[in-house]
Structure formats: C-alpha cells, structure tokens
Structure 1
Amino acid sequence: MRWIAVVVFIPLALIQYPLWFGPGGWKQVREREDQVLLAQARIAGLRMRNARLAAEVRDLRDGTAAVEERARLQLGMIRNDEVFVQILDANAPAPVNQPLEQAKPVKPAARPAAIAAPAARH
C-alpha cells in the first residue's frame, strides 16, 4: 500500500511544481501583481501632475493673471502705476546683489531692548 501512495504522490508533485515555481507560476503572478500596483500608483501621480500642468497652460493661454503672477514672483516686475516698498530686517544678512558699501550693517540706537525698534534701511 505504501508503494501505491509513493507512485501517486511523485507524479502529483511533478505536476504541481510548474504551477508553483515554474514560468507563469504563483510566484511570478504575485511579482507581476506587485509591479502592476506600483505602476498604477506611478501613473496616478503622473496623471495628477499632467492635470496641474494642463491647468497652468490653460491659465497662461486664457488669462493674464498667471503671467502677471510669474512676472512678479520670478522676475521681480511691477506695474508702472505701482510703488515697490521693501522692508528689510536689521538682523538679516544683506542681499547678495547689493554693493558692499550699502551692505554694511546698521547699528541700532542705544535703547532698552523692549522699546528698541528695528532700524530700517533705504
């Protein structure tokens, strides 16, 4: 009886091996499912980025507000009828584009710290 079990078990194991470990087996199916999930997540992120870029392109084509915002923030441009006012902190380092003569720190007046106001530069 033992030989019959061995004779039946060996062909059954040989048939099952490709299902579990061979090409197209459960191991590869799990790996492919993981790859598909990662690709779907990446695609979702790219779709969101494309939607943002499409909205930005639409704004740049249709209105002047986006162009004006970029000009103000990235290029430092202002309108002809505007006055540009910049308030600098006395303790902050001087901007790099100023000449060294203007970049010297201003000493605050000798007043108590609770009353002293930060010195303004012009």
Structure 2
Amino acid sequence: MRWFTLILVLLLSALQYRLWFGKHSIVEYRQMKQEVEQQRMQNANLIQRNALLKADIQDLKIGLDAIEERARNELGLIKRGETFYRILPQ
C-alpha cells in the first residue's frame, strides 16, 4: 500500500510539473491567449481601414467630386479662375 501511494504522489507531481512548466502549460496558454487578443484587435483595425478604402474607391468610381477633392488636397491643384490662398501659422 505504501508503494502504491508513493507512485501516485510521484505521478501527480509529474503531471503538475507538466501542467505548470512543461510544453503546452498554463503559462504558455495565457501568453497565446494574449497574442490572439492582440491579433483580433489588429484584424479589427485592418477591417475598418479596408472598409474606408473600399468607400474611397467607390467615391472615385462614381463621381468627379471625390477626384477633384483628392487633386486639391494631395496635388495642390486649383481650377482656372480660382485664386489660391495659403494661410500660414505665425
């Protein structure tokens, strides 16, 4: 009976060691869970960015207003007969 108890205690100790410090341990599980959460947040940001880009593409395909706005903001273009004023901070 004493040997049986000793074997069970050793087996329990080995299993506990593996649970806390071995491969696929609780510590590793928590780290992996944190990485998954970070990846989910990154994916959500990318999904939002993609939606904005899709909307921008639709605007460019449909109307000239979006093209004109982009030309003004990014390229600094102005229409004929317009006067461009730049206000600089002091």
Partner Cα separation in structure 1 for residue 87 and residue 47 of structure 2: 41
Partner Cα separation in structure 1 for residue 10 and residue 87 of structure 2: 84
RMSD of Structure 2 on Structure 1 (CA): 2.4
Q: Is the 8 A contact 2:78 2:84 kept in 1?
A: no
Amino-acid identity (%): 32
CA offset digits 1:63-120 (Å, max 9, x no partner): 111101012222232333x43152667x96xxxxxxxxxxxxxxxxxxxxxxxxxxxx
Instruction: Give the match's secondary structure for 2:40.
Output: helix
Q: TM-score, normalised by structure 1?
A: 0.60
Partner Cα separation in structure 1 for residue 84 and residue 78 of structure 2: 11
Paired position in structure 1 for 2:74: 74
Q: Would you say 1:33 and 2:33 are equivalent positions?
A: yes
Return the index of the structure with the highest Cα Rg: 1
Partner Cα separation in structure 1 for residue 51 and residue 18 of structure 2: 45
Greater relative contact order structure (CA < 8 Å, 6+ sep) = 1
Instruction: Give the match's secondary structure for 2:77.
Output: coil
* 5+ long unaligned stretches in structure 1: 93-122
Q: TM-score, normalised by structure 2?
A: 0.78
Task: State the shift of 1:16 in Å.
Answer: 1.6
Greater share of residues in helix: 2
Partner Cα separation in structure 2 for residue 14 and residue 41 of structure 1: 37
CA offset digits 1:43-75 (Å, max 9, x no partner): 111111111111101100111111010122222
Paired position in structure 1 for 2:85: 86
